[in-house]
Amino acid sequence: MNVASDRAKPGAAEKPTLYKRIRLDIETRILTGEWPPGHRIPFEHQLMARYRCSRMTVNKALSELAQADLIERRRRAGTFVRRPQHMSAVLKIADIRAEITALGRSYGYQLIDCRRRAATAADRARLGVSTAGKVIAIACRHSADDVPFAVEDRLIDLSTVPEAATADFAREPPGSWLLHHVPWTEAEHTISAVVADEHTAKALDIAVGAPCLVIDRYTWRSARTVTAVRLHYPGDTHRLVARFKGG
């Protein structure tokens, strides 16, 4: 969660509580560079004196800043501004239907192929599972204002998500269905670039050899594979945007 979110709240300038004021004071000093990375910030008892409050109040402010990785706390040594981390960005990859409608464009969906089968060796390799079981393989296309937006090639592990057998993927895109029916705990994205082969070019209505952005996503639910999906986007029109903050 963004620690700075309180500041960003629109509307009235409500009187902030004391611990939030302390947290904001410290955060501001860090973000302006007044307290550079590695700087030791005042001890809790010093902040108690400065703000005339109890240690628990100071501690709450510092704990939240530590949870947000802005500071590092070391017993006996004190509390320190963290060095600039690796550049980590929050990449919002929404459900495609939500993404398109959020842009104010009309969402279209075409199911190309949907079949249920016993997992082949290739399926098991793709899902990263060793045991045999049933899977659903889906190919479909998403469009925005009737222009092809992305093609999707998905595998769902029915042993993890048996309910998926009853879902109607002709009506509802599998990504939306899964997002609303299956709590996921972890996922991994791999983003790469390819040039469109004949099959992809036809589905996206672009030229063979045109650039495509490819997203591979694996989703787990408590160590069990839920789904593996590969999405092809036209690379020249689609962009992933990641906004983030750091310290």
Binding residues (CB under 8 A) for a second copy: these are 1, 30-33, 36-37, 56, 64, 66-69, 84, 86-95, 98, 179-180, 183-195, 209-214, 221-222, 233, 235-236, 238-247
Tell me the closest approach of the beta carbon of residue 86 to DNA, in angstroms.
22
Tell me the closest approach of the beta carbon of residue 76 to DNA, in angstroms.
4
**Residue in 30, 79, 201, 212 binding DNA, rule: CB under 7 A:** 79
Exposed/middle/buried for residue 13 (C-beta within 10 Å: 0-12, 13-18, 19+):
exposed
Encoded amino acid at 119, one letter:
A
31 binds, among a second copy, DNA, none (CB under 5 to 8 A by kind): a second copy
| Residues 6 or more apart whose Cβ sits within 8 Å of residue 218 | 127, 128, 187, 188, 225, 227, 228
Please report where in the chains the tokens 């063979």 appear, as a residue.
208
Tell me the closest approach of the beta carbon of residue 74 to DNA, in angstroms.
6
Q: Would you say 27 or 157 has its CB closer to DNA?
A: 27
Tell me how far apart the alpha carbons of residues 31 and 184 are, in angstroms, rounded to a whole number: 34
Per-residue contact string for residues 22-61; x = within reach of DNA by CB under 7 A: ---------------------xxx------xxxxxx-xx-
193: helix, strand or coil:
strand
Q: Would you say 57 or 143 has its CB closer to a second copy?
A: 57
| Residues 6 or more apart whose Cβ sits within 8 Å of residue 193 | 211, 212, 213, 214, 235
Tell me the closest approach of the beta carbon of residue 14 to DNA, in angstroms.
7
CA 10 distance to own-chain centroid: 25
Residue 41: other Cβ atoms inside 10 A: 19
Q: At what angle do helices 44-51 and 18-31 cross, to 10 degrees?
A: 120
Site for DNA in 125-144 (CB under 7 A): none
The verdict on 75 binding DNA (CB under 7 A) reads: yes
54 binds, among a second copy, DNA, none (CB under 5 to 8 A by kind): DNA
**Residue in 26, 30, 62, 119 binding DNA, rule: CB under 7 A:** 62
77 binds, among DNA, a second copy, none (CB under 5 to 8 A by kind): DNA
Encoded amino acid at 139, one letter:
A
